[in-house]
Amino acid sequence: MKSSRSILGRIILASVLAGSATAAFAHDGHEHPVKVEPAEHYAPTAIPDRIILTWSGDPTTSQAVTWRTSTDVAEAYAEIAVAEGSPKFDENAKQHVAKTQELKTDINTANFHSVEFEGLKPGTKYAYRVGDGENWSEWFQFSTAKDNADKFSFIYFGDAQNDIRSKWSRVIREAYSDAPKAAFMLHAGDLINRAENDAEWGEWFGAGAFLNAMIPSVPVPGNHEQAKDEDGKRHLSHHWRPSFTLPENGPEGMEESCYTLTYGNMLIVGMNSSADLEVQAKWLMNVLHNNDKPWVVCTFHHPVYSTGKGRDNEELRNTWKPIFDKYKVDLVLQGHDHTYGRTGLQTPLVASEEGSEKNVPTGVNNFDGKTGTVYVVSVSGPKMYSLSPHPFMNSTAANTQLYQIISVDGNTLNYEARTAVGDVYDSFQLKKREGEINELTEGTVVKKQATTE
């Protein structure tokens, strides 16, 4: 016969187990899964995550990489080697010590690390990994740009912003399946919805996953990357600079949010349309005056020509468009309006006349002729607004998640806007002409939707 103490112990244990089991069941008697909270889901560890390639220097000879760990990792490293068919490529890897900075967020504190690989060979495939010396990422591969590259492609995304992990992930991955050899991915702002929300940044990095670690990103901030101080002043999210390693060649105080870089025969100008427009205008004038690349692409968040009613950005247009006109900028890639709109080469000098509806040009005198610039507004995430297109827009869309594949081949640029399932929605081609503006040829698949209210 068992002792009374043993029997009592069993009764107590059974009672505890019963209590635990009861907690796992709802009132309907069925067991339900427990939600994983953001603080747990996006908790940093010693294993590197949020790994992303960007540039802060010359894409032919350098490559920057940034990643995150827990604060337990005080010193981090990146290793790099020329990629080879042999699995012993890592025997020739060189180790670099990372720069580290701490970031306190709304749900955690993490260390962000960055390394800039320099002195690389143009047109060469490299393998790299990041870690603390014991806990490493997998080996990733990237290719440096070729000297004077005049044949390449890139992917352009409008706002991701909402339901990023759930519904934007399919877009970036579909884009990759269509353009796996893309030289870079360009993001025109509003990557996330709440500037200082670490879980949303975690969603964005999770959606891109290994793609971010293999294809460099060229992001610019949108209005949702702006946060408010306690005194109500707006500033760039504290996540921005720790998360990305970007050029610091913009106006003073706008480093890594307003910048320029060159890839092959293209000048890329990224700007912060939520910051001082006049300061950036003066900087832009100087950049374009000294440019020697045949193709010029400018990207920022707020559109020169809005596709949404009541969302006109008149100050921006008056400040920046004359510069685009003067220097015959080829493409201006934007977001913000959660619809799609694409112009031809003829765009109005002003957006409205006294007594006419705001943001709707009327009359021939409103047009300044064919300036040579094509303006695009696009959205890649699932948040959608009503469409209010201009009559001079050649293609528009509402309620459609899109990504754009842009390919350069010498003096020819091909553009395709594709839906989230890969269907071509809009396309055109630009050709350079000596002493004249570009020749624009519309594609065979060009669609235009009516106004939606």
Q: What is the pLDDT of residues 28-83, one digit of tens each?
A: 777 889 999 999 999 999 999 999 999 999 999 999 999 999 999 999 999 999 99
Q: 47-143 belongs to which homologous superfamily? A: Purple acid phosphatase-like, N-terminal (2.60.40.380)
Q: Where in the chain is the domain with CATH 2.60.40.380?
A: 47-143
For 189, the 3-state DSSP assignment is coil
So what's the pLDDT on residue 420? 98
Give the mean pLDDT of 125-130.
98
> Measured between alpha carbons, how far is 159 from 337 in angstroms, rounded to an integer?
9
> pLDDT tens-digit profile of 77-105?
999 999 999 999 999 999 999 999 999 99
So what's the pLDDT on residue 450? 66
Give the mean pLDDT of 436-449.
86
Structure tokens at 264: 């092959």
So what's the pLDDT on residue 348? 82
Query: What pLDDT band is residue 111 in, cutting at 50, 70 and 90?
Result: very high
Query: What pLDDT band is residue 17 in, cutting at 50, 70 and 90?
Result: very low
Q: Where in the chain is the domain with CATH 3.60.21.10?
A: 151-442
> pLDDT tens-digit profile of 156-211?
999 999 999 999 999 999 999 999 999 999 999 999 999 999 999 999 999 999 99
Is pLDDT above 90 for 133?
A: yes
140-144 long-range contacts, Cβ below 8 Å, gap at least 24? 140/51, 140/210, 140/213, 140/214, 141/83, 141/214, 142/53, 142/63, 142/214, 142/215, 142/216, 144/59, 144/60, 144/61, 144/62, 144/63, 144/120
Structure tokens at 87: 């699995």
Is pLDDT above 80 for 364?
A: no
So what's the pLDDT on residue 369? 63
| Sequence-separated (6 or more) residues with CB below 8 Å from residue 121 | 61, 82, 144
Q: What is the mean pLDDT of the chain?
A: 90
Nearest 5°: CA angle at 244, between 214 and 175? 40
So what's the pLDDT on residue 23? 46
So what's the pLDDT on residue 366? 56
Is pLDDT above 70 for 355?
A: no
Give the relative orientation of helices 314-326 and 277-289 as an angle to the nearest 10 degrees. Answer: 10
Query: What pLDDT band is residue 13 in, cutting at 50, 70 and 90?
Result: very low
| 367, β-bridge pairs | 348
Q: Does domain 151-442 have CATH number 1.20.1050.90?
A: no
